[in-house]
Structure 1
Amino acid sequence: MLFPTPALTAADERVLSDVDRMRDDLRHQLQGRPAKWAGGLRKFLTADAVAASNSIEGFKVSTVDVEDLMAGERDVDVSDENRAETLAYQQMMTYIQTLHSVPDFAYGKGLLNALHWMLQGHRHTERRPAGQWRPGPVYVTDARDPSIAAYTAPGVEQVPALMAALIDWLNADDRSHPLIRAAMAHLHLVSIHPWSDGNGRMSRSLQTLMIAREGVLAPEFSSIEAWLGRPGNTWEYYQVLGRRGPTYRPDQDVSDWIRFNLMAYHQQAQTVHARFERSGRVWNALTEFASGAGLDERPVTALHDVAMAGRVRRTRYERSEALSVQQAQRDLRELVSRGILEPVGRTRARFYVAGRSFPEHVLDLARTPVVLDDPYRD
């Protein structure tokens, strides 16, 4: 038995309508933007989702470090464990993003276990296998006292039947809104806890996959993983899951879970839109600055990374503009000689930050925080 999908209230319907409108507006706005600028935004949002979802599980890597790791940088100052977890999750998320338009797509045991292997294969052991249902019991321990089980998942003998029911549900159409179905899929999977480890990230990833399959926006613009990774939201995430009780009880109303997810969808849409607008203003301001300073327009890509992410590496700039090593080095040397950028570190680990002549008004634009509205508040 799975949790029944609750009926939406009038307030829920209004919030959901707002989310649909914001996502549709963003889709139209993206169509008019330069491909390399929009591509950079997509990479940032993917990295932000990976960093946030991993942080919920205790793997702390900044978004800019995740971006560098995703780009193949080796000299990133993170632990071996955090590097492995980041790259595994990024690999799985990249595959999920490619599935958004597969015509003969279907959910199945093989797909879910393959995704789990991408995420947890580097941790595979006989006692805690990756890519297959768990061989024994699993618990979610209390954050304040690990000796207390906050949640005990269904018995191992129930897992095959519960997962078969979930897969059937995923492949059916109950005429619910796709965002509501995605939220329910997250709840179903995290409650069944079918694997020995990685259940939280798999559940969040399944939600992202279902949003991607909806086809309105590229998945990196729709995932709520970055929103869930903010400390206050993570706490509330655990609270709303905890209200389901210490054992699997699907015969209950989960309206509060739907409301929580609608809040997440709405505020993440606000956040992405604000990032989109801020990034565009920074790009335009840097284009004007480059023109006034007699610079080629090409280095705007590097300057934009510095303004928005705090730094840029030569290899990242080189790939973004399809340059040779020599061309990228020459451009960055010129920016350093003018005091626009300042190098940090040596050789392969070197990156560049804003120098004394970097336009301060652009940094102010990039650092302006966004105020998020509560969609349930009149």
Structure 2
Amino acid sequence: MLYRTPALTSKDREVLEGIDKMRHELRHQVLQTPTKWTAGLRKTLTANAIAGSNTIEGYKVDSVDVEDLIDGEQEVATSEANKAETLAYQHAMTYVQSLHDAPGFAYSVWLLNALHWMLQGHHHPRKLAGQFRRRGVWINEPGDPQEVAYIAPDAEQVPALMDELVEWLNQGDPDAHVLVRAAMAHLNLVNIHPWADGNGRMSRSLQTLLIARGGTLAPEFSSIEAWLGKPKNTWEYYKILSRVGGKEWTPDRDTAPWIRFNLLAYHQQSQSVQHRITRSNRCWIDLTEYAERHGIDERQVTALHDAALAGRVRRARYQRAENLSNQQAVRDVRALTEAGLLEAVGNTKARYYVPGPDFPADVLEAVRQPIRLVDPYED
């Protein structure tokens, strides 16, 4: 028996309708926006998801550094352990994203174990990867290693529970909304806790996979992992898992609070992504107009756009984005630096560029405006 999908309240359905509306609007925005404008945003959203999910597990890598690692940069200010966890999660996330339209797709134990290997294979054999755990496991209370928050099912129960979960993933609750099914998949997997390590990230990855398979949005726009990785949300995440999951495997518990928590996450993440797209487009338009007035090549707007939104840009990233030779990229960045639009930080391979003293102040002010997220349950 698994934790069961609850009946939605009228308020849940209202919030879900709002989420659907935003997701369809986002899809329209993305389709109407030139690919050149959205390519960087897709990578940024993926980096935010990876950084958020890893942060929950205690691996601290800034989302901008995650983006640099995705781009192949190695001179990033973090530990080798954090780099390894980030790159492993990136590989798993890339695979999850690639499955969103895979023909003949079906969930299986082997698929989940393969994903787990991508996440945890670099720890094998010290920590068993790609195979179910062979002993009992428990989860400590956050910040208190002396207190047990949850005791997972015995190892002998795991294969049968995972078979049941896979059957449900393929056939269960077919009339439930994809976002609700994704949340329930997360809850069940994290409480089965089938592997020795990496269960939290696997559960969040599975949720992202179900959402991506829903097909409304590209996978990069679908994850709530960045939202979950915000400190106040992470704390609430642990609290609601404890409240709904109980102290041990008790699948007859009320799961409605978990669904409500996830609907809030979906709603606020959609607000955030919508804001990012609008801000990115506005920034691109403003910088293009600025470039035209000051005789700056249109391609150089890419470097300025990255510097404005991410706070920095690397020469190699700009070179790849515009498909330039090394000499072209060096000349372009040097010209922007000499014009005071960019300013170099660091030396040699670790060098990156931030907005310089003559970067248009109105553009920076606009992109730095914070967003006020609305709680749809309080509206």
TM-score range relative to shorter protein? over 0.9
Letter in structure 2 aligned against 1:317: Y
Alignment partner of 1:96 is 2:96? yes
Shift of 1:349: 1.2
Partners of 1:144 and 1:224 lie apart in 2 by 24
In the TM superposition, 1:1-378 aligns within 5 A as: 1-125=1-125, 128-174=127-173, 175-243=175-243, 244-378=245-379
Q: Name the SS of the counterpart of 2:316 in structure 1.
A: helix
Partners of 1:377 and 1:51 lie apart in 2 by 29
Task: Give the direction of change, closer, same or farther, for the CA distance of 1:247–1:173 in structure 2 (3 Å limit).
Answer: closer
TM-score (norm 2): 0.98
Partners of 2:220 and 2:250 lie apart in 1 by 32
Partners of 2:33 and 2:293 lie apart in 1 by 23
Shift of 1:173: 4.4
CA offset digits 1:95-125 (Å, max 9, x no partner): 1000000110000011000000000000112
Partners of 1:264 and 1:78 lie apart in 2 by 28
Partners of 2:213 and 2:136 lie apart in 1 by 32
CA offset digits 1:305-328 (Å, max 9, x no partner): 100001000100000000000000
Partners of 1:219 and 1:169 lie apart in 2 by 22
CA offset digits 1:47-70 (Å, max 9, x no partner): 000000000000000010000000
Letter in structure 2 aligned against 1:237: Y
- Of stretches 252-261 and 341-350 in structure 1, the one that deviates more from structure 2 is 341-350
Partners of 2:313 and 2:256 lie apart in 1 by 44
- Extract structure 1 runs of 4+ deviating beyond 2 A: none
Q: Name the SS of the counterpart of 2:144 in structure 1.
A: coil
Q: Name the SS of the counterpart of 1:146 in structure 2.
A: strand
Partners of 2:142 and 2:159 lie apart in 1 by 29
Shift of 1:138: 1.1
Q: Name the SS of the counterpart of 2:166 in structure 1.
A: helix
CA offset digits 1:240-264 (Å, max 9, x no partner): 0011211010011110000000000
CA RMSD of aligned residues (A): 0.8
Letter in structure 2 aligned against 1:292: R
Q: Name the SS of the counterpart of 2:216 in structure 1.
A: coil
Letter in structure 1 aligned against 2:113: N
Shift of 1:265: 0.3
Letter in structure 2 aligned against 1:270: Q
Partners of 2:310 and 2:188 lie apart in 1 by 36
Partners of 1:23 and 1:153 lie apart in 2 by 35
Q: Name the SS of the counterpart of 2:85 in structure 1.
A: helix
Shift of 1:77: 1.4
Partners of 1:39 and 1:130 lie apart in 2 by 33
Partners of 1:89 and 1:36 lie apart in 2 by 25
Q: Name the SS of the counterpart of 1:196 in structure 2.
A: coil
Q: Name the SS of the counterpart of 1:288 in structure 2.
A: helix
Letter in structure 1 aligned against 2:199: N
Q: How many residues are matched?
A: 377
Q: Name the SS of the counterpart of 2:150 in structure 1.
A: strand
Partners of 1:27 and 1:224 lie apart in 2 by 16
Shift of 1:368: 0.4
Partners of 1:377 and 1:329 lie apart in 2 by 51
Shift of 1:4: 1.1
- Of stretches 26-35 and 9-18 in structure 1, the one that deviates more from structure 2 is 26-35
Shift of 1:377: 1.3
Partners of 2:6 and 2:136 lie apart in 1 by 29
